[in-house]
Amino acid sequence: MPNASVTAEGLAKGLVLHLTFDRDETGDNKVTDTSGQGNHGKASGLPKGVVHLSDDDVRFRTAGGVNVFVDPVSWPTDELVVKSGMVKPDLILITHSHGDHFQPTILQEYVSLNSNVILAGPPDVARLAREKGMKATEVKPGQSYTMAGVKFSAVPACFLEGDSHPKANQWVGYVLQLDGGSYYVTGDTQPLPEMAELKVDVLFPLLYGCGGNLEQALKMAELTKARLVVPVHTGGQEEVIKKYLAQLPKGVQGAYYRNGKLIVGP
């Protein structure tokens, strides 16, 4: 049952917060050593090997005050993070182990803020997190879970061609059930037939970079029949975002975030 409160206005009221940051000029979202030059990290600058903050970081707070972070790659000390109050996670969900989605050093900071936090991700993410001394729970595509009181499903995320996001890795996207609405963060994936089986109110698709593009993101909107579409993995390409929102199926609302502020429509 779609929830009437799941609208762009509802998002703007703060159920969902998406943190946006610029990529580096090359558009490269691999792990970049920005040691000492970043202004996103602690006062001392970013530790070595930390990714240049990108736009895959989506955070949710339920009406009951449960904070769910998907792929948090922004530091707890970042201005937008602090301003939003979305600093202390109850549940952290990781889609896959690429550096623009998964940063163990940053996760350690978040984990240190809440000893009860649950960190979950696909097998390689769980293994890498454990190697860094964090407790981690494994999720598998096609399975449903309740963690920290939040119901969600892990769904497949992959590209069937090429070897950047192979199906064999069991990487995932997440469909979260929050306050009667259904929120789908796709992670890095092409449109997949499984998407047509999902019940989705709000879609957060990969739009640009990492194998994603406008046509595929349109297909995802079509398959999921989401009523509201908020592209998140956009590389900050505002022209592409606007073009995308303008081409969404009839009756589907589009919105995107610029510096943490929701902008509705193309």
Residues 6+ apart with CB under 8 A from 223: 191, 192, 193, 195, 196
Residue 87 or 157 with smaller CB distance to Zn ion = 157
**Which among 62-70, 117-125, 180-188, 255-263 is the span making contact with Zn ion, rule CB under 5 A?**
180-188
CB of 187 to Zn ion, least distance (A): 7
Q: Which stretch binds Zn ion (CB under 5 A): 50-58, 151-159, 183-191, 258-266?
A: 183-191
Give the separation between CA 226 and CA 81, rounded to whole angstroms.
27
208-247 binders of Zn ion (CB under 5 A) = 210
Number of residues that bind Zn ion (CB under 5 A): 3
Contact residue for Zn ion among 81, 188, 217, 234 (CB under 5 A): 188
- Alpha-carbon distance of 69 to 90, in angstroms, equals 8
Rounded to the nearest whole angstrom, what is the least distance from the CB of residue 65 to Zn ion in the complex?
31
Closest of 102, 106, 101, 100 to residue 26, by C-alpha: 100
Binding mask 133-172 for Zn ion (x = CB under 5 A): ----------------------------------------
57 binds Zn ion (CB under 5 A): no
Residue labelled with tokens 């999921």: 224
Least distance (Å) between residue 115 CB and Zn ion: 30
Cα gap 216→85, rounded to integer Å: 33
Nearer to Zn ion, 10 or 209 (CB): 209
Stretch that binds Zn ion, among 70-78, 81-89, 98-106, 242-250 (CB under 5 A): 98-106
Interface segment toward Zn ion; rule CB under 5 A; list 114-122, 188-196, 227-235, 247-255: 188-196
Report the candidate in 39, 169, 57 with the shortest Cα–Cα distance to residue 103: 57
Q: Please say whether the beta carbons of 51 and 16 come within 8 A.
A: no
**CA 44 to CA 41: how far, in whole Å?**
7
What DSSP designation does 48 have?
T
CB of 102 to Zn ion, least distance (A): 9
Shortest spacing between CB 17 and Zn ion, in angstroms: 22
Query: Which one-letter amino acid corresponds to residue 27?
Result: G
Scan for tokens 């991700």, then name that residue.
121
- What stretch of H or E contains 184? strand 181-185
Q: Which of 52, 59, 98, 227 binds Zn ion (CB under 5 A)?
A: 98
Only segment of 68-76, 112-120, 207-215, 231-239 that touches Zn ion (CB under 5 A): 207-215
- For 244-261, give the DSSP string: HHHTSPTT-EEEEEETTE
Contacts with Zn ion by CB under 5 A lie at 98, 188, 210
